[in-house]
Amino acid sequence: MASMINVALPKGRLGEKVYKMFEEAGYGCPDIFEGRKLVFESRDAGVRYFWVKPSDVPIYVERGAADIGVAGKDILLEYAPNVYELRDLGIGKCRMVVAAPKGFTDDSEYPLRVATKFVNIAQDYYASVGRDIDIIKLNGSIEIAPILGLSDVIVDLVETGTTLRENNLIVYENIMDISARLIANKSGYNFKSREINALLEKLQQTAQI
Amino acid sequence: MQYDQNVLTRTERRIFALRTLYSRAGYRSYRMRKFEDYDLYSRNKDFLLSDRVITFTDTNGKLKALKPDVTLSIVKNIEDSPDIVARLFYDENVYRVSERTNSFREIMQMGLECIGAADNQAAAEVISLAEQSLALVAEDNDYILRVSDIDLLIFILEDMTDSRALQSDLLKLAGEKNLHEISRLAAANDIPEEKCKTLIGLLGLYGDPEEVMPKLAEICRGTVAEAEVSELQDVLDRFYAEKERTGAGHGRHIVLDFSIIGDVNYYNGMAFEGYIDGIPECVLVGGRYDRLMRRMKKKSRAIGFAVYLDTLGMLGRTAGDQAIESFFGSYSAGDEEEQ
């Protein structure tokens, strides 16, 4: 008998888009958007879904509570979970950038003050370009940091650039492109490889990933 | 003296079962009786799971360490006899930083080393013992031993690029089965498409050796990795012949998977990892480490594995299907009551 695949989906807009992809591939689950339940299953489709906080998806997968999950590349780079990254789903696209106030010039005599939620990504990036930085970890409203003089620049995700423009910031440097990735637990993959590979094949057919 | 087996903990029972298996296979117990110089670990820090080591100053002023690993000590202390095979096993406490708690932990580790004339026959024997070890500790749960030949990956990467940094980036992605990023990185660095295709083909293979080996031979035909395919086939042939001869284990828990990675400065040839259904992490890690022997100025060859007894402690306590099944039962019942 085929095993059920446990899938951790990120709550919110991205998770809903991902679910639609899975549904079109034949892994639909009735009533998934109704009520406030966080777990759903469809025995016929052989799948269970858990709605979890986007940044927690890699934890659920790494620790084996879910066999597979979908997380943004930004979260995977920031937390570096020990998981397989099986597919780029090509949705949830945005960019990780360095943004700065218009007219900003970098004074290399001093460490650059960088405000960000993504401490590891920012540190890795600036280490790769050999720039000394003073990192300021914030949890939200990052764009306000340069306005108030808390930082020189910010490292953050940009989708359309509207928030940056409204706060008088511009993209100073591109760090990398980001999109949603399908990840799998390294142990669980061995015991459900047939089911997971079948799902990947169906996704490939319907969503051309 | 008679004793009641019920007084033993689960970990102690596992240790006795594994000791019995290894002793019967002709392996002798190795005990570490002294502390090593810190220098041994600092020179080989990439061989260790974590480079952080607990140090102390001995009475003569020398900097010593609490062992984070046993293999390095065995390699250092064993006589270099490349014409005979030394078969050793150990169960020792090691001291290293736990990834989960980010603090030092005392971890019980059991392992086995085959050093000296450790040829393909020895490799087949060690893989067989690794599979039997999993069978002993899995407690009725399914288990899988993933087997690879790490040189296949290394030769293909060296053929793709001369850049060590790029090889290292590609190796990391190989360990994640991250084929889309490999394609992007290869394209961005002008690596010829056919070379990238060989790597992607290799990483796409997974499954029963009988099904995978012909596909592997096809992918590697005419490439730098061709000779290594024959080497792997030879080890597998010997492994199945050994199974036939001893009737030990079934061999049906072996899968080939070439996404196993290791530090190229230490490991070469066979590499394997053991998993038990219900434990989200690897419980057994092993492989050939002739390159470590050369670094330590030894002519002997070597292959071995370690069983992580602390990780085995997660059996029955982890998240997964069983917990979810029982949750769904109560969840549905709760729904009905509410209505």
pLDDT > 90? residue B246: no
The answer to whether A180 and A70 are in contact (CB under 8 A) is yes
What confidence tens digit (pLDDT) does each residue in B167-226 have?
A: 999 999 999 999 999 999 999 999 999 999 999 999 999 999 999 999 999 999 988 888
The answer to whether B147 and B127 are in contact (CB under 8 A) is yes
Record the pTM.
0.90
Which of B173, B276, B324, B330 best tests the A interface by mutation, with the highest count of A CBs <10 A?
B324
Same domain for B171 and B196? yes
Asked if residue B293 belongs to a domain, the reply is: no
Range of the structural domain that residue B244 is part of? 143-276
pLDDT > 60? residue B125: yes
* A158 φ/ψ angles, rounded to the nearest 5 degrees: -130, 130
Asked if residue B281 belongs to a domain, the reply is: no
Q: Which pLDDT value is given to residue A18?
A: 95
Q: Which pLDDT value is given to residue B249?
A: 59
Same domain for B57 and B166? no
The answer to whether A12 and A71 are in contact (CB under 8 A) is no
Asked if residue B287 belongs to a domain, the reply is: no
What confidence tens digit (pLDDT) does each residue in A151-194 have?
A: 999 999 999 989 899 999 999 999 999 999 999 999 999 999 99
The answer to whether B74 and B115 are in contact (CB under 8 A) is yes
Distance CA A80, CA B222 (A): 36
Same domain for B52 and B135? yes
CB-CB under 8 Å, B207 with A193:
yes
Chain B hits for A63, Cβ within 8 Å: 280, 318-319
Spell out a b/e string for A34-73, using b for 16 or more CB atoms within 10 Å of the CB, else e.
Answer: eeeeebbbbeebbbbbbbbebebbbbbbbbbbbbbbbbbb
Longest dimension (CA), chain B: 76
In B, what residues contact A, Cβ < 8 A? 142, 144, 146, 176-178, 180-181, 206-207, 255, 259, 275-282, 318-321, 324, 327-328, 331
| Number of domain units in chain B | 2
Same domain for B148 and B135? no
Same domain for B120 and B7? yes
The kind and range of the H/E element at A126 are helix A119-128
Average pLDDT value for chain B: 89
Same domain for B250 and B164? yes
Q: Which residue from B194, B201, B206, B193 is spatially nearest to B219, judged by alpha carbons? A: B201
Asked if residue B294 belongs to a domain, the reply is: no
Asked if residue B115 belongs to a domain, the reply is: yes
Same domain for B111 and B181? no
Nearest residue on chain A to B275, judged by CA atoms?
A: A187
Asked if residue B64 belongs to a domain, the reply is: yes
pLDDT > 60? residue B272: yes
pLDDT > 90? residue B335: no
**CATH code at position B322:** 3.30.930.10
Nearest residue on chain A to B147, judged by CA atoms?
A: A190
Using pLDDT thresholds of 50, 70 and 90, give the confidence band for residue B337.
very low
Q: At CA A184, angle to CA A53 and CA A22, rounded to 5?
A: 70
Nearest residue on chain A to B181, judged by CA atoms?
A: A88
Chain B hits for A85, Cβ within 8 Å: 176-178, 181
Q: Which pLDDT value is given to residue B247?
A: 72
Nearest CB to A187: which of B279, B328, B331? B279
pLDDT > 60? residue B317: yes
CB-CB under 8 Å, A63 with B146:
no
Distance CA B149, CA B168 (A): 17
Using pLDDT thresholds of 50, 70 and 90, give the confidence band for residue B252.
confident
Asked if residue B253 belongs to a domain, the reply is: yes
Same domain for B104 and B151? no
CB-CB under 8 Å, A83 with B176:
yes
CA A110 distance to own-chain centroid: 32
ipTM exceeding 0.90, yes/no: no
Distance CA A25, CA B44 (A): 48
Asked if residue B282 belongs to a domain, the reply is: no
User: In the beta sheet, which residues pair with residue B216?
Assistant: none
The answer to whether A155 and A96 are in contact (CB under 8 A) is yes
Using pLDDT thresholds of 50, 70 and 90, give the confidence band for residue B331.
low
Tokens of residue A189, six digits: 């993959």
pLDDT > 70? residue B250: no
Same domain for B164 and B116? no
Same domain for B49 and B181? no
Nearest CB to A187: which of B181, B206, B282? B282
Same domain for B272 and B307? no
Same domain for B57 and B113? yes
Q: Which pLDDT value is given to residue A29?
A: 87
Q: Which pLDDT value is given to residue B319?
A: 61
Sheet strands side by side (includes B63-65): B36-37, B63-65, B55-57
- Non-local (6+) Cβ contacts of A75 within 8 A are A54, A55, A57, A58
Tens place of pLDDT per residue across chain A (209 aa): 578 999 999 999 999 999 999 999 999 988 787 777 788 888 899 999 999 999 999 999 999 999 999 999 999 999 999 999 999 999 999 999 999 999 899 998 999 999 999 999 999 999 999 999 999 999 999 999 999 999 999 999 999 989 899 999 999 999 999 999 999 999 999 999 999 999 999 999 988 77
Looking at B222, B242, B276, the residue that finishes a domain is B276
Chain A hits for B255, Cβ within 8 Å: 190
